[in-house]
């Protein structure tokens, strides 16, 4: 296990002050509005805070930080997420269970049982775009090329997974890519390994990505709310899992910003 400093860093103190979307505890599985490979998403129909809470294994943390960084640079194009401690109280076993298929649970890597210590995110709530019946990979490629042309740093970072359901209707969003309403990308991935994409990065794109990543927060500081969550975990391998997660995601983060 790595040595950690418990005193709050200046970044952590500042980041805490900036957070505006506190995580909430779902009351029932019926409040789930989405589920992906790594996370479940819940709304609060009673409190109506204007944001969702997500629970996940922590995988692709590097993408979450990259999303934060690009949302700072292009606020009209990306909708950032916040990381939080697990909301108070005991989370129910169904928190990582699929609403549509109750037998399906999100699994943490290298574990024989379902994740018992979900990490927590929040994000402004918005209506996802719907995939039309004829949307396919060529449409995805074409949209990404438009994004790369308009924002060369996104090619350098290997932006991917820009399918319709990863965009949401959002005030202040963009309409420059053929959408009828203002939209933002809410759940992208980066670090696309396809050299036909990143291999065509221009010098302008490399310089722009370097500038955007120059003030990149320290990953461990950024994820400090999750570290505090470890105290609430009953799973004996939680700390070892978190250490490996940080190590793997740090490598991924470097690959995103240093192609």
As a whole number of angstroms, the distance between CA 256 and CA 241 comes to 22
- 119-124 and 81-84 strand pairing: antiparallel
Residue 228 Cα distances to 12, 35, 58, 117, 248, angstroms: 12, 25, 14, 12, 19
Q: Is residue 3 part of a domain?
A: no
pLDDT score for 200: 87
- b/e map 70-97, b = 16+ CB within 10 Å: bbeebeebbbbbbbbbbbeeebeeebbb
Q: Is residue 50 part of a domain?
A: yes
Mean of pLDDT values over 196-211:
90
Q: Is residue 55 part of a domain?
A: yes
Read off the pLDDT of residues 172-187 as tens digits, 9 standing for 90 and up: 999 988 888 999 999 9
Helices (H), the chain: 10-18, 61-73, 137-150, 152-156, 195-198, 203-213, 219-222, 224-229, 238-257
Give the least confident one: 31-45, 105-119, 140-154.
105-119
> How much is the mean pLDDT over the chain?
85
Do 254 and 213 touch, CB atoms closer than 8 A?
Answer: no
Under DSSP, the state recorded for 6 is: -
Give the sheet arrangement for strand 51-56, strand by strand.
Answer: 32-35, 39-42, 51-56, 119-124, 81-84
Residue-range definition of the domain harbouring residue 89: 10-257
Read off the pLDDT of residues 238-249 as tens digits, 9 standing for 90 and up: 788 889 999 999
Mean of pLDDT values over 27-56:
92
Q: Is residue 5 part of a domain?
A: no
Q: Is residue 2 part of a domain?
A: no
Structural domains counted in the chain: 1
As a whole number of angstroms, the distance between CA 136 and CA 169 comes to 21
Residue 2 in this model has a pLDDT that exceeds 80: no
Read off the pLDDT of residues 59-100 as tens digits, 9 standing for 90 and up: 999 999 999 999 999 999 999 999 998 887 667 888 888 998
Q: Is residue 89 part of a domain?
A: yes
Q: Is residue 193 part of a domain?
A: yes
Residue 14 in this model has a pLDDT that exceeds 60: no
Instruction: Supply φ then ψ for residue 120, to 5 degrees.
Output: -115, 135
CA angle (254, 258, 259) in 5-degree steps: 115
* Beta-bridge partners for 169: 127, 183
pLDDT score for 198: 82
As a whole number of angstroms, the distance between CA 137 and CA 145 comes to 12
pLDDT score for 233: 66
- pTM over the 0.85 mark: yes
Q: Is residue 28 part of a domain?
A: yes
Mean of pLDDT values over 94-117:
71
Do 126 and 166 touch, CB atoms closer than 8 A?
Answer: no
Residue 204 in this model has a pLDDT that exceeds 90: yes
pLDDT score for 17: 40
């Amino acid at each position: 296990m790595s040595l950690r400093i418990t005193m709050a860093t200046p970044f952590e103190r500042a980041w805490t002050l900036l957070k505006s979307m506190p995580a909430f505890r779902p009351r029932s599985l019926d409040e789930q509005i989405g589920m992906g490979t790594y996370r479940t998403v819940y709304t609060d129909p009673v409190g109506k805070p204007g944001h969702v809470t997500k629970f996940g294994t922590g995988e692709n943390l590097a993408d979450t930080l990259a999303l934060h960084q690009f949302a700072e640079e292009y606020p009209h194009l990306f909708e950032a997420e916040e990381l939080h401690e697990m909301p108070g109280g005991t989370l129910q076993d169904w928190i990582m269970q699929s609403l549509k298929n109750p037998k399906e649970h999100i699994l943490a890597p290298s574990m024989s049982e379902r994740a018992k210590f979900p990490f927590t995110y929040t994000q402004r709530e918005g209506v996802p775009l719907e995939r039309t019946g004829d949307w396919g990979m060529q449409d995805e490629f074409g949209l990404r090329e438009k994004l790369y042309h308009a924002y060369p740093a996104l090619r350098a970072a290997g932006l991917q997974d820009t399918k319709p359901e990863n965009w949401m209707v959002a005030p202040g969003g963009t309409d420059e890519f053929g959408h009828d309403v203002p939209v933002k990308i809410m759940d992208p991935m980066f670090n696309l390994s396809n050299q036909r994409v990143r291999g065509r990065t221009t010098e302008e794109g490399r310089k722009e990505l370097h500038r955007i990543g120059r003030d990149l927060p320290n990953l461990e500081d950024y994820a400090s709310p999750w570290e505090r969550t470890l105290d609430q975990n009953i799973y004996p391998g939680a700390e070892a899992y978190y250490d490996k997660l940080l190590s793997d995601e740090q490598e991924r983060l470097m690959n995103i910003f240093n192609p």
